[in-house]
């Protein structure tokens, strides 16, 4: 496994440090709360194993903790299965042994003192500079208990804490939760994770927008007609009814992932790619959002949802949502942002589509086909191997003047650096260890999102049924008319040549 640490943009040796340089990586004890849960199994343990294997985090020790009574050996066995099943990179026996050697388990039932002494023992092995990263992969109610426990166990100093959504249920509960956490940790120690922002493709939006003279000048209401952020999922509840039933698609996906991605699409250029500047610009987007009008929202529920185990027979939870969001600022006034996501839909996709205003068509002969296939589009695919496509009209070869939609496409797969892609959690854990808040959300940002969501939360439109395997209830077409949803795509992405 090559040492990839050189690929991070660290300052060159001897160069003058700037405020944009990340903190060098100190040795870390990572305490993983919820270590036997689904997220730990699918993402966090495989991610930590890869970070160690690739030498991004050479000096870490991981202490798993959860309610289950396991020995450290039993936990290592589970971690090995998780890495084998869900890991994105193969590990040799020797690499596994190196990682396993750094894993311990302390059951919650052993109490705060047992956890504190395991942390101390790990710190002794790592030396005096060791820091702590507490990863709270637990539901919000349990998160409060964990924070109290960290305080009682004296594990707050030299520590950072990563918290998973949902950050409250509405403005009042978000404020309460933020206040509660702030009693123990200051904001600089808190990392509220939204894994969509850790995806390479999400970061590429910033690179694409701000590094290119071609696109930067046209990124506004004078040239852009509308934007779609469309994240249909083909998967269903996946045994998560206890979480999903009180949450629903809006709180699970929109007020979190889709709006965070939207802020990257819509923000003004930050003064630097550093946390404060980026948070400021993101928060300005959220503050400029008009309160969500329930009349601009379609809530859907797939047929059969009410029969799922753990779901109320008269449940009003939406498993689908499509909505129009307006950002009422100088750049975006009058440009609608359409957001859609749902479970058990026809396809799993994650796209952002920018539709440009159309050119006048009068010079082309009638029947030329100009404009007949919709406006020019710039499309980002947020898949791990990200893709970008720019569609435009071009002349069909041959006599006369027939126009057709063509496209230029780019895929990370074709660059030979697809193997360097960090999974979102890997990147974000690494950033949290370096104290880099750039891709994390702030208390203020979360609170303004809840504030703008209040009209919808207070008066949600009734859920409309949709058949599993479709694109949602019919009302989605009225919501976007006279425009149209990009998905399903009329033309497939081109496949990379092997
Ligand atoms: C999670 C949601 O945060 O994101 C899930 O709770 C959703 O419901 C998932 O399926 C989607 O993330 P990804 O990265 O798998 O597309």
| Residue 114, domain member (yes or no) | yes
Among candidate residues 28, 134, 226, 257, the one labeled active-site is: 257
In this structure, are 201 and 160 located in the same domain?
Answer: no
In this structure, are 289 and 369 located in the same domain?
Answer: yes
| Residue 435, domain member (yes or no) | no
Number of domains making up the chain: 2
Cα angle: 242, vertex 247, 248; to 5 degrees: 110
* Total residue count of the chain as it appears in this document: 498
Q: Which of 140, 164, 188 is at the close of a domain?
A: 164
200 lines ligand 1 (CB under 6 A): no
Q: Which of 139, 164, 189 is at the close of a domain?
A: 164
Q: Is the pLDDT of residue 210 over 60?
A: yes
pTM, two decimals, is 0.92
| Cα(341) to centroid(ligand 1), Å | 11
In angstroms, rounded to a whole number, what is the distance separating the alpha carbons of residues 75 and 73?
5
Q: Which residues pair with 324 in a beta bridge?
A: 338
pLDDT band (50, 70, 90) for residue 413: confident
Range of the domain at 33: 28-164
Nearest CA to ligand 1 atom 8: 252
| Residue 184, domain member (yes or no) | no
Q: Is the pLDDT of residue 384 over 80?
A: no
pLDDT band (50, 70, 90) for residue 496: low
Nearest CA to ligand 1 atom 14: 196
Q: Which of 114, 146, 164 is at the close of a domain?
A: 164
| Residue 430, domain member (yes or no) | no
In this structure, are 226 and 363 located in the same domain?
Answer: yes
In this structure, are 111 and 224 located in the same domain?
Answer: no
User: Average pLDDT over the chain, rounded to whole?
Assistant: 92
| Cα(264) to centroid(ligand 1), Å | 18
In this structure, are 144 and 219 located in the same domain?
Answer: no
pLDDT value for 383: 85
| Cα(86) to centroid(ligand 1), Å | 15
Q: Average pLDDT, stretch 97-118? A: 96
pLDDT value for 15: 52
In this structure, are 146 and 213 located in the same domain?
Answer: no
Mutate to test the pocket of ligand 1, among 43, 237, 250, 252 (most ligand atoms within 8 A of CB): 252
In this structure, are 228 and 116 located in the same domain?
Answer: no
How large is the angle between the packed helices 72-86 and 45-53, nearest 10 degrees?
80
pLDDT band (50, 70, 90) for residue 13: very low
| Residue 288, domain member (yes or no) | yes
Q: Which ligand 1 atom minimizes the distance to the CA of 233?
A: 10
E strands, 37-173, where? Answer: 60-65, 103-105, 131-136, 159-163
Q: Is 182 a catalytic residue?
A: no
pLDDT band (50, 70, 90) for residue 9: low
pLDDT tens, 117-165?
999 999 999 999 999 999 999 987 889 999 999 999 999 999 999 999 9
Q: Which of 126, 147, 133, 129 is nearest to 47 (CA)?
A: 133
In this structure, are 70 and 214 located in the same domain?
Answer: no
In this structure, are 230 and 127 located in the same domain?
Answer: no
């Amino acid at each position: 496994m090559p040492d990839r640490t050189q690929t991070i943009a660290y300052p060159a040796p001897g160069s003058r440090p700037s405020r944009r340089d990340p903190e060098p990586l100190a040795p870390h004890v990572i305490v993983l709360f919820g270590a036997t849960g689904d997220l730990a199994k699918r993402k966090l343990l495989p991610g930590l194993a890869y970070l160690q294997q690739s030498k991004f985090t050479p000096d870490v020790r991981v202490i798993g903790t959860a309610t289950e009574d396991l020995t450290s050996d039993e936990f290592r066995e589970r971690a090995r299965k998780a890495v084998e099943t869900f890991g994105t990179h193969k590990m040799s026996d020797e690499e596994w042994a190196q990682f396993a050697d750094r894993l311990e388990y302390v059951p919650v039932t052993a109490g705060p003192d047992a956890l504190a002494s395991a942390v101390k023992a790990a710190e002794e092995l790592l030396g005096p500079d060791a820091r702590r990263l507490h990863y709270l992969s637990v539901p919000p109610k349990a998160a409060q208990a964990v924070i109290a426990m960290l305080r009682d166990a004296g594990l707050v100093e030299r520590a950072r804490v990563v918290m998973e959504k949902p950050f409250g249920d509405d403005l009042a509960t978000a404020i309460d939760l933020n206040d509660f956490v702030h009693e123990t940790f200051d904001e600089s120690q808190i990392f509220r994770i939204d894994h969509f922002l850790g995806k390479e493709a999400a970061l590429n939006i910033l690179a694409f927008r701000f590094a290119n003279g071609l696109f930067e000048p046209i990124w506004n209401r004078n040239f852009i007609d509308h934007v779609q952020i469309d994240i249909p999922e083909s998967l269903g509840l996946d045994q998560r009814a206890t979480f999903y039933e009180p949450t629903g698609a809006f709180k699970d996906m929109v007020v979190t992932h889709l709006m965070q991605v939207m802020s990257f699409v819509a923000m003004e250029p930050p003064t630097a790619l550093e946390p404060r500047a980026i948070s400021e610009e993101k928060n300005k987007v959220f503050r400029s959002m008009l309160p969500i009008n329930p009349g601009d929202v379609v809530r859907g529920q797939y047929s059969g949802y009410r029969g799922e185990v753990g779901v109320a027979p008269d449940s009003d939870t939406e498993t689908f949502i499509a909505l129009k969001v307006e950002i009422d600022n100088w750049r975006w006034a009058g440009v609608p942002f359409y957001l859609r996501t749902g479970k058990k839909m026809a396809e799993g996709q994650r796209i952002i589509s920018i539709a440009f205003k159309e050119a006048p068509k009068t010079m082309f002969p009638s029947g030329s086909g100009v404009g007949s296939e919709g406006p020019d589009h710039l499309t980002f695919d947020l898949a791990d191997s990200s893709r970008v496509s720019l569609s435009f009209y071009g002349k069909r070869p041959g006599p006369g003047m027939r126009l057709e939609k063509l496209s230029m496409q780019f895929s990370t797969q074709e660059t030979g650096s697809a193997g360097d892609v960090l999974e979102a959690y890997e990147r974000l854990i690494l950033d949290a260890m370096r104290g880099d808040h750039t891709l994390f959300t702030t208390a203020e940002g979360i609170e303004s999102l809840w504030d703008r969501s209040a009209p919808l939360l207070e008066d949600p439109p009734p859920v409309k049924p949709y058949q599993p395997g479709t694109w949602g209830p019919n009302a989605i077409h009225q919501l976007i008319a006279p425009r149209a949803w990009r998905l399903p795509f009329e033309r497939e992405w081109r496949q990379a040549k092997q």
